[in-house]
Amino acid sequence: MTARIVSIGTALPDTRVTQSTLRDLFAAQPGFDRKAQRLVGAAFDAAAIDTRHVVLPQLAGTAVDGLPVRDGDTLLMPPTGARNDEYRRTAPGLFAAASRAAIEGSGYSTDAVTHVVTVSCTGMFAPGPDYHLVRDLGLSPTVERYHLGFIGCAAAIPALRLAARIVGNDPAAVVLVACTELCSLHWQTSSHPDQIVAASVFADGAGAAVVASGDPSREGLDLDGFATHVTDDGEKDMAWTVGDSGFEMTLTPEVPRIIGREISAIAADVLGDLADVDAWAVHPGGRSILDRVESALGLDAEALAPSREVLRRHGNMSSATLLFILRDLLADPALKDGDSVAAMAFGPGLTVEAATLTARRASA
């Protein structure tokens, strides 16, 4: 039985801040010399991002109670526990908002949901987001729950793979997949190039999908196949560790180069004939990653337009980002019944996750 994404919902924090505002704030940090300030300006301006959403209004200059992250123009470095407390306070609402939107658009009731798969790498607590979704959405207390943590930007694809396998084993299953990432909680006020690059792209957001067995009366995206590939190098170039002052992201300039060097062989291996792909959903880890993928695969400029548009409006929301792209593709009338969609995302390792999907439009 083919599993199908029948609906996708998204949610964003209320605070929307321009890239230029965040650039100027980060460049103004005490101890940043002219070289660091130039690097901040170059990284933020080259990111191809206009706006990002964050759960911290303080970053947009709004004075509120909560996590102490700013004193005037000086960014503070609260301890990991305080950052995680803010995650625990704010993440469940975004998980629930995206999930409600997905369920409302699916044609299923909350009573129909049999499984919940949650995804996040920006916080942790127990009972966790999976438990809170059952309570917040009024799901059955017998719903099976799974949580995928610390997989990073690529995690939406393994979550969809798990959902597809559940539905393949039980055609009556209705699986809710929900990804929420609050990357802004882990800003590091460091002039190290890796931290500047991370600060220039990461943002907050949530995406959710309802996956069920294919039904001719429901539009959606059939989940046809999945593949994963670990590159020969890159283990130290994309990493995510827990520090005393938040989670510390390593994202070196080698990441786009590694992807650009290896993506052609990987794509041919996991996706087959690229000429058969009608639409692309590539995780925009950054503008340079999209540029390398486009060049290496010989794609035309429009192929990655959906990925670039999500990056421009929202930044890199880690695992949730791919669901935003798939949502936009699903809503695009240019995507016809039977069209092939290739999805790819990149995570620590360096790991490439891929999926092949087929667009399904409701029969008359």
Mean pLDDT of all residues in 192-208: 94
Region of residue 61 (left: phi > 0; alpha: psi -120 to 50; beta: else): left
- Out of 80-94, 95-109, 268-282, pick the least confident: 268-282
How many whole angstroms separate alpha carbon 218 and alpha carbon 230?
35
Q: What are the structure tokens assigned to 92, written together?
A: 């469940």
- In the prediction, which pLDDT does 363 show? 67
Nearest to 250 by CA among 192, 289, 293: 192
Percentage of the chain modeled with pLDDT above 90: 78
Rounded to an integer, the average pLDDT of 203-227 is 93
As annotated, the active-site residues are: 153
Strand partners, 280: 342
- pLDDT for 199 beyond 90: yes
3-class DSSP state of 165: helix
C-alpha 145/C-alpha 133 separation (Å) is 10
* Dist. CA 210–CA 168, nearest whole Å: 14
Residue spans of beta strands (DSSP E) within 139-275:
144-149, 175-182, 204-213, 220-230, 238-243, 246-251
Per-residue pLDDT at 262? 83
Sequence-distant (6+) residues with CB within 8 A of 116 are 130, 133, 134, 139, 143, 144, 145, 146, 175, 176, 178
Give tens-digit pLDDT for 301-340: 899 999 999 999 999 999 999 999 999 999 999 999 999 9
- What's the angle, vertex CA 23, arms to CA 309 and CA 311, rounded to 5? 10
CA distance 153 to 226: 16
Q: Which domains does the chain have, with CATH numbers?
A: 220-360 (3.40.47.10)
Averaged confidence pLDDT in the chain: 94
Using one digit for the tens of pLDDT, what is the confidence trace for 13-37? 999 999 999 999 999 999 899 999 9
Q: Which residues make beta-bridge pairs with 115?
A: 144, 175
Contact at 8 Å (CB) between 314 and 205?
yes
The pLDDT, as a whole number, for residue 346 is 93
What tens digit of pLDDT does each residue of 36-82 get? 999 999 999 999 999 999 999 999 989 888 899 999 999 999 999 99
Mean pLDDT of 120-141: 97
pLDDT at residue 182, rounded to an integer: 98
330: its two tokens: 């699903």
